[in-house]
Amino acid sequence: VRFIHRIGAYRFQDLVADELQGLTNATNAALGEAVELALKDSDIPPAMQQYLQSNVFIFSGFKTHTELTLASSLLRDDKGQIKPFNRFLEDIKTIDNTYNRSYLQAEYNFAVSSAQAAAKWQAFAADGDDTLLQYRTAKDERVREQHRLLDGITLPASDSFWDKYFAPNGWNCRCNVVQVSSKRYKPTDHDAAMQAGDAATYLPDSKGRNRAAIFRFNPGKQQIIFPPNHPYYSRK
């Protein structure tokens, strides 16, 4: 905050400044810890784990850029003059509370679930289609109605359904994918499964944009933790 106030602006080139790198590094440390926690008992290749941690660092940088861009927009008053420091500090406390508390908690939880999903996919891919994969919700009153549409969908690992609808499918999603026997379960119709996946990840905002579409990815297949189309990445 003092850095932005002192220079009177924020540019993305400033991310390399020590004062601003501290925020990226702190965010990366928190989210990286979530990945380490999720993978501590998993047997995944070191290269894959490095991909996942690198993705967390990139995400942390874009998150910092988003925060600082918003903070700099509050730097000046209605007359275009730089606000006194204490007023500026007070004005951006909402950004800090939103991004470094509320959002960060949801991102931490997602990082844990996403890393676990990536490790699972590694094991599922190794087994091929010897078994089927089945989508399961937590089966309680907290399950989102959209996610109930996916409960019980059963398909081979090679089915393209899993490219887009592998859990987690939202912030704080508790859904899971497990291996089941092909002798006990029959595969779901592919087209019906895809339609359910589209419906389960459809959450339009006030402008009609689908906020849930970003979750249509597979952490293990793509070797990333966070959605590749997350809004943080949309900033110029």
Query: What is the predicted pLDDT for the residue at 234?
Result: 87
Whether cis (ω within 30° of 0) applies to the bond prior to 231 is no
What does the pLDDT profile of the chain (236 residues) look like in tens digits?
Answer: 999 999 999 999 999 999 899 999 999 999 999 999 999 988 889 999 999 999 999 999 999 999 999 999 999 999 999 999 999 999 999 999 999 999 999 999 999 999 999 999 999 999 999 899 999 999 999 999 999 999 999 999 999 999 999 999 999 999 999 999 999 999 999 999 999 999 999 999 999 999 999 999 999 999 999 999 999 998 66
List C-alpha distances in Å: 31 to 54, 111, 118: 11, 7, 15
Query: What is the predicted pLDDT for the residue at 236?
Result: 66
Query: What is the predicted pLDDT for the residue at 235?
Result: 66
How far apart (Å, rounded) are the C-alpha atoms in residues 43 and 70? 40
Contact 82, 76 (CB under 8 A): yes
How far apart (Å, rounded) are the C-alpha atoms in residues 170 and 31? 17
